[in-house]
Amino acid sequence: MGNSPVPTPHNGAKLGDIAKTVLMPGDPLRAKYIADTYLENVTCFNTVRNMLGFTGEYKGKKISIMGGGMGMPSIGIYSYELFNFYGVDNIIRIGSAGGISDEVKLMDVVVGMGACTNSNYASQYKLPGTFAPIASYGLMKKAIDIAEMQGTKVVVGNVLSSDIFYSADTTVNDQWKQMGVLAVEMEAAALYMNAAKAGKNALCLLTISDHLYTGEELSAHDRQVGFGKMMEIALELAE
């Protein structure tokens, strides 16, 4: 199960407390909202650093939901521990993103088939080239099929996982847009790399919370509770 003791410095759960499939929003309060709204027989397995984690049942299937924080260092820690110390097989990031492409509109659900990045996260692997972080095909196909059955339109393609929220370079969005990138967020690439290294599965589902070119945006409250379509796709991925 890895070289770290369980519980870890960041997660108070014991082995068996966490399901094989974990949904991971950035905001721990969103994790609580999903658990309260959608799950039955819920237990809270983590309160360390207020990064709340819950396990419950959705339509009779065991599933866990845990916050992952903001940025690749944060989700990098939590997803690494889940994959390597807690026996988790599937992590689905469910988050918000800023629209870049003209193809995406406010509240659209984006499936991150690939994750471009300006991060140095991959340097730890000492690869002789550039690694391309991608979603696990099985999870991605299942999510697209579920969305189709639910009547939810999804936009599938490349996203950008950025280390920088407030960029000093005002040209970066235009450059990524020219390469067909749909939206920008801050976590998927690290999650995909951790999954690849561990031989596990990962997927990033995003709801467009603001658009960098139209200027439209959701309120903080809407970001927390208004992503029902994305959540219902992700919850159906429980095994």
Confidence (pLDDT) at 239: 81
Whether residue 20 contacts residue 63, with contact meaning beta carbons closer than 8 Å, is answered with no
Q: Is residue 15 a part of any domain in this protein?
A: no
Confidence (pLDDT) at 225: 61
Per-residue burial over 164-178, b if 16 or more Cβ lie within 10 Å, else e, is eeeeeeeebbeebbe
Residue 4 has pLDDT above 80, yes or no: no
Confidence (pLDDT) at 43: 98
Confidence (pLDDT) at 20: 98
Residues 6+ apart with CB under 8 A from 111: 135, 140, 143, 144, 154, 155, 156, 157, 203, 204, 205, 206
Which CATH number fits the domain that encloses residue 98? 3.40.50.1580
Q: Is residue 228 a part of any domain in this protein?
A: yes
Q: Is residue 173 a part of any domain in this protein?
A: yes
Q: Is residue 205 a part of any domain in this protein?
A: yes
Q: Which domain holds residue 104?
A: 21-235
Of the pLDDT bands very low, low, confident and very high (cuts 50, 70, 90), residue 222 is confident
Q: Is residue 32 a part of any domain in this protein?
A: yes
Average pLDDT for 32-40: 96
Q: Helices 188-198 and 72-85: crossing angle, nearest 10°?
A: 20
Residue 186 has pLDDT above 80, yes or no: yes
Q: Is residue 46 a part of any domain in this protein?
A: yes
Residue 163's DSSP bridge partners are none
Confidence (pLDDT) at 176: 98
Q: How far is CA 70 from CA 14, 46, 101, 112, in A?
A: 24, 18, 23, 17
The pTM is what?
0.96
Q: Is residue 101 a part of any domain in this protein?
A: yes
Token pair, residue 14, equals: 């014991």
**Catalytic residue chosen out of the listed positions 17, 108, 174, 210:** 210
Number of domains making up the chain: 1
Q: Is 210 a catalytic residue?
A: yes
Q: Is residue 8 a part of any domain in this protein?
A: no
Biggest alpha carbon–alpha carbon distance for the chain: 49
Average pLDDT for 196-214: 97
DSSP characters over 2-64: -SS-SS-SS--PPTTSS-SEEEE-S-HHHHHHHHHHH-EEEEEEE-GGG--EEEEEETTEEEE
